[in-house]
A = this chain, B = another copy of it.
Amino acid sequence: MTRSKTEIRAEDRLSRILTKVKERDFRLTPQRLAIIRTLVAGTDHPSVDDVYREVREQFPTTSPATVYKTIALLKELNEVLELGFPDGSNRYDGNRPYPHPHAICTKCRKIMDPEISSVDELSEEMKQKTGYTISFHRLDFFGLCPECQRKT
């Protein structure tokens, strides 16, 4: 069986996170493992409810509270990026837990993570013109994804 690059990367991500969890003396429960697996599995920026429904297939008694708590743990470990939206439709990136630009479809809510070259320059320009010490950012671009453009 051949493996794609993303699958291999996902496994690296998983073991990296599990190591961190153990190092910090957090317990590795089956529920936590399932939640972390789900967050690292795809490139689809799941919501809390997405993760909850996925994990509940393995652990039918799992509660949303546990998902929230595990995500809070991963945030503390800097191993998940939270994309909070003011309407409460929050999404999570378990693959690239550092700030980076997102393209967000206003219709189907699909999120993409392109590699963008000029982010550092923009950050530097902000620093110069405001005097702020920029430590992180949030860059969202909204519009229609290719698929939703076709359907219109």
Q: Mark A residues whose CB is within 8 Å of B.
A: 82, 84-88, 90, 101, 103, 105-106, 112, 114-119, 121-123, 125-127, 129-146, 149
Contacts and interface: CB of A to CB of B under 8 A. Distances in A.
Interface centre among A88, A125, A146 (most CB of B within 10 A): A125
Given A90-B86, A126-B101, A138-B138, A132 B116 contact: no
Indicate how many identical chains form the complex: 2
Contacts of A126: 101, 103, 114, 116, 141
A144 B133 CA distance: 5
Given A86-B84, A116-B125, A103 B140 contact: no
A58 to B, nearest CB: 28
